[in-house]
Structure 1
């Protein structure tokens, strides 16, 4: 526990792990899975032993030595011998011990490794679809652009009734993902039923590398006339205002953003950029630094500090390849975290951008992963510990991490615009439907009946007495501009107005 930024010692971590074991012993629902826990006397004796050990651990606190903590853990495992498998006890203890230190410290088990690789590498091997459970049926939410699934003609709303001949009835999303993804170059056969049809057709698809799209635009354009599907980044082409939405920070995010900016600059008419970081949970620090460095040419960008405030790493802006003239507005909200907060904070602190929206989440901590390599270093790791080791500090000196009991955290916007939760929900729902890649003949977007876009086309709200009425209905003709026309996104409206105003001011002063 010496590496954890809190330096709380072994006592608190041990107590957290023992508490998790006690919850395992005392949860009635688990007695079906572990029948030995039905024997009340040994189960109660184990729980009492765990209470006593936990009390000793909390009393010892920081002063507990590593050897003492290990000995107490051995006592706890021995007391539960025969009640649950030791592997289960170790798993629960480790999760509880690390989770007690802070919300972002935890374990990586073998089952977590695929998701970890996807999150850090921004890619996976599969067919290229987003899936969901709709009325308990495994359903394609959207094919991803320029992927094997899109090439095979899969559409939003298609039901996947089988995978390689196995029925998907009763499957969880996790099981479906495991079945559909697989090694590159292998084949998977999906049994697909198109919405409104009875026939099930087998679609054979060869899995390939799918790069996650972390740089998105204002409108998704379908493939046509030999041109691949892709994003238009113009939110107001007449005013020369571009729009980029970053969903996370992956290894390729900075390069993809550069490509998007080059496309906007191609005809020389880019006069402002909205960088939307709302609901962006973060990602790789290196990616965030690369992106901030595109717009800041000098001075410190961010540094990492330990619990005593000592600087561990310091990152400086580089002049090469920097655009210091393009007017910027950055959108943030409560869902903007970690690397997203770093980018918004750097651009705001340096005066490079106006930050519009709401105060951000406040996740300003650094996690390092310590892997157990197994018996030989050449083997894949069997588990890893993700431990919070440092905090970030911005150019203006602020530490954005939200500490327990703190009244200040995150990034405070330059222009604060709160949005009612219902408007946020409507906006997210509309945006999700607009981001679906729809080919010729695909069904129109589906929205809840209470959505303002539904009311606009004259459909009545859902009548609770009408059992046959559908909660979600088709709404043809939706456009991204509906977010603004319906007043669902006042933060975006403000950012757009700000950049247009600056464009007018620049023109009045003789600028471009």
Structure 2
């Protein structure tokens, strides 16, 4: 294991859960975080997105270690990158020599890693440009566009790249190619081209071009989605053509006829009453206060896309009758125009009910699609318009066949065997991976295994939902899976005991081992010598806060905790109360988060409770990136607002909305509608008087949580760091310890600069705790890295 002693590493994760916290906090709160608070706070300045780059000092910095340590933390808290660089370039001579030299070495390494990354970036850009030219010459337009996206990502001056002759030729050629693909019905090729063209026009000051590609791609994506749901044979053939285009040497499987009727599952127990009730609630309660118009327009637009997707005639005979299609589409177009022209106050529930009835009647007189299809597509289209117009991808109608799984997710009640599944290329049920410590993992189930049968039932033709329904069931009951495994001649049966599945979210720096029950044993210290812990939190669930407190206690039992890195990168969020309880560990008083309705009225507020801030004053760095959302943004944003932590990385995702669920059930069918009805509001930043909306609203150029210190990572760095972490955390628990494959060490994330955000976070904490490292027994002259 690599530990960064005197320059070492060690991570961790955490979450908040109210009623369990007091028991543990009262026992060791005082001992966990006996550290001084930062007294001086400069005004918040977080709008500068420039990446960290150490420079030669130009102004005088304190030479006394206490003042230097406080000053560098204040510079970080204020987002003053220039001052921070100067402090890092001037480690005080009054510091203990061994500790000071270790810090200087770490700073030099960071400089070296930045320089190497800059050189690599230029070389990678040039290599991508050469690939672009090669693919263009070979008439491989999609691959050439992929290389163009790489060039754009790596180039300092994109306008300069646009002047290159081959780049201009590529963009001109791809313009015509996507239109030709669309006319030929090759939706997958059109999608490939449009996606890359849209990416090349994102955030470059060409909003009209971006919008044009975005709208075209949106239309193509929706038609492909329709094929995936209602015309799987046609989509299969398009995928065959795609395989021939990109990998002609690969064998493509034949279509499995057992899937031909899978689309009918989506329509069970759907009726027009639930649709009408869902639209009434959406028009009345949705946060955007858009009223009826976007809902009705969205429903009609969705049906027009459906009826003009010719490939759907695979299962809907009426769509093969062009005269009937034209009549129905003309009817929809007339009503779409009528809704657009009507004043908002003229639209109401009666308009909605009459429109849906007329649509169903017109359908019956023309293309004669099953009414449940018309109802579902209208409802999904109405909700999609809320996403398109108001960037709300969370409102949805939860149809009867989706309701049970939705409720399971809300309750967090996962009873099963603990596997993630998907369809392979032959549409068989394939195990993506067994969850760590799950019944499946303990039974020897492996990633890549194929489930051929469940309790003597053949899985041929099963949808993923059907597989989930058959495999899950009551706890403490066995389910027998017939498994096919690569390398074995014959399938075999595995009996797995169903159990409550624990979704672990609190992770440390190095996973030492797994217990017989599948519980991980973590090393929590990223730098044991300086007493700096690391916690990586992957979600905010029911167990997260308690697991975090356990991690704190384990660290405290090993040695005093002087600083903490809380890694919230790629954390999509979770329970609000968990985020609030966690924040309360670091914040003694004041507002943590509030909610406001469609009229900007505050409808609730959650504040810190006195006596729970066991970690108040603990030097903490919170890592965020574009994958940090919802509850993660509440924690990072509240800690920033209360000056309780330095937030470092990249701007967060911008998901700050609250959804409520309304029942649509009737005596014969059950359904629901989930609507965004409120926005989260973070407390005001230091020096400001109003709170901050997290949510990314249409047209906004400011959203999410901006870090104090911006440190960007290139896509390749993110992939490399993520893959290293994944492999390091993966223990083959079904294999005898001596026979397991060796895991990579995690030290290179910092010591080789593979994760510059983590490296900078550790540097800040080492600098912050420099004044507290006065025990000669703990002084180490050299850096010793541990896994």
Q: Does residue 298 of structure 2 align to residue 2 of structure 1?
A: no
Q: Does residue 351 of structure 2 align to residue 78 of structure 1?
A: no
Q: Does residue 712 of structure 2 align to residue 418 of structure 1?
A: yes
Q: Does residue 761 of structure 2 align to residue 500 of structure 1?
A: no
1:478 aligned partner: 744
| Equivalent runs, 1:62-461 vs 2, <5 Å | 62-63=344-345, 64-81=347-364, 83-101=368-386, 102-131=392-421, 140-156=431-447, 158-166=449-457, 174-193=465-484, 196-223=487-514, 228-323=519-614, 324-375=616-667, 382-396=670-684, 397-439=691-733, 441=735
1:55 aligned partner: 337
* Alpha carbons of structure 1 residues 96 and 371: separation in structure 2 relative to 1, 3 Å: same
* Aligned residue-pair number: 479
Tell me the SS of whatever aligns to 1:211: coil
Deviation at 1:132, TM superposition (A): 5.5
Deviations 1:390-443 (A, max 9, x none): 111111111111111111111100111010011112222222333323136479
* Alpha carbons of structure 1 residues 490 and 117: separation in structure 2 relative to 1, 3 Å: farther
Tell me the SS of whatever aligns to 1:12: helix
* Alpha carbons of structure 1 residues 221 and 155: separation in structure 2 relative to 1, 3 Å: farther
* Alpha carbons of structure 1 residues 501 and 112: separation in structure 2 relative to 1, 3 Å: farther
> Structure 1 CA distance, aligned partners of 2:476 and 2:298?
45
* Alpha carbons of structure 1 residues 232 and 155: separation in structure 2 relative to 1, 3 Å: farther
Deviation at 1:227, TM superposition (A): 8.6
Which segment drifts farther, 196-205 or 310-319? 196-205
Which segment drifts farther, 332-341 or 248-257? 248-257
Paired residues of 1:233 and 1:260 also in contact (CA < 8 A): yes
> Structure 2 CA distance, aligned partners of 1:492 and 1:371?
45
Tell me the SS of whatever aligns to 2:284: coil
Deviation at 1:170, TM superposition (A): 7.4
Paired residues of 1:53 and 1:76 also in contact (CA < 8 A): no
* Alpha carbons of structure 1 residues 35 and 186: separation in structure 2 relative to 1, 3 Å: farther
Deviations 1:115-143 (A, max 9, x none): 43443333411112344667767554543
Tell me the SS of whatever aligns to 1:100: helix
Tell me the SS of whatever aligns to 1:222: strand
Deviation at 1:204, TM superposition (A): 0.6
Deviations 1:266-309 (A, max 9, x none): 23422222111111112222221121112111001111112332
Which segment drifts farther, 354-363 or 245-254? 245-254
Paired residues of 1:155 and 1:439 also in contact (CA < 8 A): no
**What is the TM-score normalised by the length of structure 1?**
0.85
> Structure 2 CA distance, aligned partners of 1:166 and 1:319?
57
Paired residues of 1:222 and 1:438 also in contact (CA < 8 A): no
Deviation at 1:336, TM superposition (A): 0.9
Structure number, greater radius of gyration: 2
Deviation at 1:75, TM superposition (A): 1.2
Deviation at 1:147, TM superposition (A): 2.7
* Alpha carbons of structure 1 residues 422 and 505: separation in structure 2 relative to 1, 3 Å: same
Which 5+ residue runs of structure 1 have no aligned equivalent?
A: 446-473
> Structure 2 CA distance, aligned partners of 1:228 and 1:303?
36
Tell me the SS of whatever aligns to 2:437: coil
- Of Structure 1 and Structure 2, the greater helix share is in 2
> Structure 2 CA distance, aligned partners of 1:39 and 1:17?
23
> Structure 1 CA distance, aligned partners of 2:518 and 2:697?
49
Paired residues of 2:572 and 2:631 also in contact (CA < 8 A): yes
* Alpha carbons of structure 1 residues 325 and 24: separation in structure 2 relative to 1, 3 Å: same
> Structure 1 CA distance, aligned partners of 2:444 and 2:742?
21
RMSD: 2.9
Which 5+ residue runs of structure 2 have no aligned equivalent?
A: 1-282, 387-391, 685-690, 779-787
**What is the TM-score normalised by the length of structure 2?**
0.57
Deviations 1:307-327 (A, max 9, x none): 332111111111122120222
> Structure 2 CA distance, aligned partners of 1:209 and 1:199?
31
Paired residues of 1:12 and 1:57 also in contact (CA < 8 A): no
Which segment drifts farther, 383-392 or 167-176? 167-176
